[in-house]
Chain A
Amino acid sequence: MSDSTTCASQDDAPLTASKRSDAVDAATAALVEAKGDTLVGRTVTVNRPREELYNFWRDLSNLPAFMENVERVDVIDDLRSHWVVKAPGGRTVEWTSVITEDRAGELVAWASEDGADVPNSGRIDFRDATGGRGTCVTATILYDPPAGAVGRLIAKLFQREPAIQARRDLRRFKQLMETGEIATSARTRAQREQERD
């Protein structure tokens, strides 16, 4: 299967799995706005129809339900939203994000506006899975780890974690869509609160 998320000139493997140093350039040429130099990607198959998943995602206020580090998303208008995201040491980082491309049932792409604490851009693609298995949801994220002392602290979160965070968030999205809830092994409400901090 070859589409815009792969580098057609080479083969069918996605750019986010590339070992080549020019993968970020190829990604910004074909996929996402150039808001950074660190590329992260992850696909999960969700046993639900494409439209349902797209619709849930397109209402951005739903996202904190499964994105663990996202404290809040304030929807400003149809295209713009303000994000408040947890960072180490009890801090938060913020940015305003603009939807740059939106195709119903297929994809949502975004880019942060100037002045973002952590510039970032990305897209979520929804494709029918083979064999009637539901939908392949692919997150492709490009971001710019900040410099400076505070920056390094933030980078600690955003440099190492985004790949892990993206795959954990996608798993939680899958759980919520497939089962109606997010699995927890906590025994008490207090324990679950602790795990979320």
Chain B
Amino acid sequence: MRALTWHGKHDVRVETVDDPEILNPRDAIIRITSTAICGSDLHLYDGYIPTMQKGDILGHEFMGEVIETGTGSTLKKGQRVVVPFTIACGACFHCSKHQYSACDNGNPADNQDIAMELYGQPMSGLFGYSHMTGGYAGGQAEYVRVPFSDVGPIVIPDGIEDEKVLFLSDILPTGWMAAENAEIEPGDTVAVWGCGPVGLFAVQSAFLMGAERVIAIDHFPHRLELARRFGAETINFEESATYEALMEMTGGIGPDAVIDAVGLEAHGFFVDNVIDQIKASTFLGTDRPHSIRQAIIACRKGGRVSMPAVYGGFVDKFPLGAFMEKGLTLKTGQTHVQHYMPALLNAIIEERVDTTFLISHRLPLEQAPEGYRMFHDEQNTVTKVVLKPGMAFGAE
């Protein structure tokens, strides 16, 4: 099959590799019909995530048709499914609490050691996202092997096109969980840092959860414009001082809840080898969390901090004092996608959330490297790239 493979910083290629096979009873093989490039993939593209290997197949936002099932799979050939990016078993203690991204068993035993060193306990497996999270081949390919297919994939009813439901795989649940973690109360003002896909879905979700005002912060005019379309007020941080603007806009109180949907990418995650760093006795900062720092400082006293943005290592100058003195709470984590999928599928069917507004570009899988380059270099206008393995060259 053809697949998008990683070879190093800014070097991804479409290559021919062996087709995936059923290896465990609960597996299914999916023929990919649509797959997206994520902001998280840019962290890989920029070479910031350790434990990548040359030839790794990327992609964790994908959907397609079931073509083969193991004896323990509950899926049927021909069904259309969206697959969550978190690989979870459905049987361990964490899965029973719907903390799917903390699943004990989704990550193969040998791959758990690195996360164990870094984080104290290993996390679930993820598709196409380095060997620390399992080393699973991703879905920017013609076919993919999906483990625990009786737990993760959600079956899509006929008549709903791919583009409406594709984002159930990651960014829609991620934006939703970010808003849920902000514990929004009626009358609240919520500030969202970052108007990428995650931030934009957080904006929509915050309004649906009853926020009176949402203030979105970014520096790309087109992305800010998309946030305005959903009713958000906006701050362009290149033109205004974010903290001052927020304080003035909230009558000197500060936002009731703040959401960091930026993450390590914008400010550089400069780890070559995180493991070496944690073993070093001086804990050097590895993430430079400008947006989370700013969010904590701006947040009102007793407010809530939600952090969907990905951080991988250690942070420097984290405003722990402000955090404590103001009595803030912080909620974060990789999204428990399986938990949110059914309700959000309904929300899409009932047209309570808009998903397709985000897609700016559609490309055949063969042009995936071009898609990465565009998403990386032209962030203002390239808001989301969807890859289609079956599509003819040069389309849209």
Contacts and interface: CB of A to CB of B under 8 A. Distances in A.
Given A180-B72, A192-B23, A185 B92 contact: no
A183 B145 contact: no
B106 interface: yes
A187 B145 contact: yes
A189 B21 contact: yes
Nearest to A183: B108
Interface string B58-99: 000000000000001000000000000000011111001000
A174 interface: yes
A178 B137 contact: no
Contact of B137 (A167, A171, A172, A185): A185
B389 interface: no
A168 B116 CA distance: 12
Interface in A140-197: 164, 167-169, 171-172, 174-175, 178-192
B47 interface: no
Interface residues of A, number: 27
Contacts of A169: 109
Contact of A188 (B21, B57, B113, B134): B21
B105 interface: yes
A81 interface: no
Contacts of A28: none
Interface in A102-131: none
Given A171-B112, A183-B109, A187-B145, A178 B134 contact: no
B145 A181 contact: no
Contact of B91 (A45, A164, A179): A179
Given A47-B91, A180-B26, A164 B21 contact: no
A16 B23 CA distance: 36
Given A168-B110, A174-B104, A187-B145, A181 B18 contact: no
A155 B108 CA distance: 26
A47 B106 contact: no
B105 A174 contact: yes
A181 B110 CA distance: 15
Contacts of B107: 183
Q: List the 5 shortest-distance A-B pairs measured between CB atoms, nearest first.
A: A171-B109, A181-B24, A185-B135, A185-B136, A168-B109
6 contacts: A47-B91, A168-B110, A175-B109, A183-B109, A185-B108, A187-B18
Given A169-B109, A179-B91, 8 more contacts: A171-B104, A172-B109, A174-B92, A178-B105, A185-B136, A187-B137, A188-B18, A189-B23
